[in-house]
């Protein structure tokens, strides 16, 4: 997986300048927030989050269907 380094910020930067981080999310749909030099959090555009959640629900629905078929 390729990671855009423009989308990685420290937790202190996110804390001190949240509006800047929000603008990055508006533009790029997500930001990775580092804590102690390790990826710790992801700030995600709500529409992107909704798409991901719907995709996960579809996967779960498909799993349930496969389990029923396997019986």
Q: What is the mean pLDDT of each run of 10 residues along the chain (71 residues)?
A: 74 95 93 95 91 71 64 67
Are 52 and 30 in contact by the 8 Å Cβ rule? The answer is no
How many Å is the maximal CA-CA distance in the chain?
55
**pLDDT value, residue 48:** 87
Top-level CATH class of 5-70?
Answer: alpha beta
Task: Give the model's pLDDT for residue 19.
Answer: 95
| pLDDT confidence of residue 52 | 79
Comparing C-alpha atoms, which of 47, 35, 12, 8 is closest to residue 24?
8
Is residue 40 within 8 Å of residue 50, measured between CB atoms? no
pLDDT at position 34, please? 96
Instruction: Kindly list the domain boundaries of the chain, sorted by start residue.
Output: 5-70
Q: How far apart are CA 10 and CA 38, in angstroms?
A: 9
Give the list of residues 6+ apart from residue 38 with CB closer than 8 angstroms, or none. Answer: none
What pLDDT was estimated at residue 10?
Answer: 96
């Amino acid at each position: 997986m390729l990671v855009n380094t423009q989308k990685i910020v420290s937790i202190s930067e996110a804390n001190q300048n949240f509006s800047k981080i929000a603008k990055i999310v508006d533009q790029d749909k997500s930001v990775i927030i580092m804590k102690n030099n390790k990826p710790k959090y992801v700030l995600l555009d709500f529409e992107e989050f909704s798409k991901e959640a719907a995709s996960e629900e579809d996967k779960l629905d498909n799993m349930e269907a496969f389990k029923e078929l396997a019986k």
